[in-house]
Structure formats: structure tokens, C-alpha cells
Amino acid sequence: MSRLAAPEIVRLGVRDYESVWRDMQAYTDQRDSDTPDQLWLVEHPAVFTLGQNGRLAHVRDPGDIPVVHVDRGGQVTYHGPGQVVMYVLLDLRRWRLGVRQLVTLLERAVIGLAAQFGLQAASRPDAPGVYLGDAKLASLGLRIRRGCSYHGVALNVDGDLTPFFRIDPCGFPGLQVTRLADHAVLPERQAIATRLANQFTLALQRHDQIHR
């Protein structure tokens, strides 16, 4: 069996959240068996997003930051300048992936990236995402439709973290949040986004080799 093609990397630059979300839905709905898998790398202006079963009570003080109700899993999180967001548009059947396995691969990608800066990040069984100590470094949220995934992972790189104080991050009151810039000297965000995509692709290809 031939090796599956690595996902295409699509760099969107800075784009408003809602238009990218609608584009992800359209891409997923229009897919067929030949549609390539893609990783979308993007940065959003400030926005709070609340998952489909999220509780509005966790958005404590949004102020002038818009709140968008979306179709991913999970509770509330923040996206804004200084984050690297990677959306994973994958045909899960093609890769023989379940949802839990995809979450694990995304977590491994962030952990592998952090290790490149000498940081020991980890996942937690009780709350998806990646943590440095007790502080959350990256948030995960996914939607599966027609056997395909969209949404993905948001990694805090060097942005302002104070908007997280206005919410209960991921539904956990008082959860600490951190960013890479507080722990390491970093290259530019575009280079970090590339490293994250590469780490995920490597994890995905290892999974494919094992499960072929």
C-alpha cells in the first residue's frame, strides 16, 4: 500500500474567525474521496468562541471582544493576535483515525514543538490540550462531519493573555494560561507555525505507518 500524501499546508495570514469557520465547513461539505487533506495556518483578530455544548456562563466579561457560537466540541476559548492556529481538515477514514487518536496527535505535535525550545509540555487526561506545569499552552477543539475533521489547535506564542481572564478557559474557572514567549527565545510566528505543521505531519505519518 502506497504512503498517503502529507496534508497540504495553507497559509491564510490574518483572517477573521467567522469567515474561516464558514470556509472550513464548505471545504468539508464539498469533499470527495480525491480531495486533499489540508492544514490551515491562521491568526485571528480577538474573538471568544463557545463550543456547541458550551455554557455562556463561562464567558464572564467579554467586553468589546465578540463571542461566536461555533460547532466544535469544548467550552469557551480565546483567539487573538500572537497565537498560531492550525486547523486540521482531514479525511479520518483515509488515515484510519478516530477522534481520540486525532486529539492525541495534535497534542503530540505541540509537545514536540515545545521540546524544540527545551520545554517539557504535557497533555492531561481530564482536559484536552497541552500544558506547561499547571498552565495551558494550547487549546484543542474539533468537529467531525461526513467522516472528516475541521477546527484544530490554538497555540499561545507571544500574544496578550489578559483576555483569558474574562472567561473560564475551556470551562475551568481559574485555569492558568501561558505562552511560549514566557519560557523561551522564539523565532517569528510564521516559523513556529511551520514547525507545528511539520510536527503534526510527522505524527500523522507515524500513525499511518503503524496502522497500514
The residue type found at 48 is F
Instruction: Report the length, in residues, of the chain.
Output: 212
Q: Which of 170, 177, 196, 203 is catalytic?
A: 170
Enumerate the β-bridge partners of residue 154. Answer: 85, 139
Q: Which three cell numbers stand for residue 152?
A: 484544530
170 is catalytic: yes
* Residues identified as active-site: 170
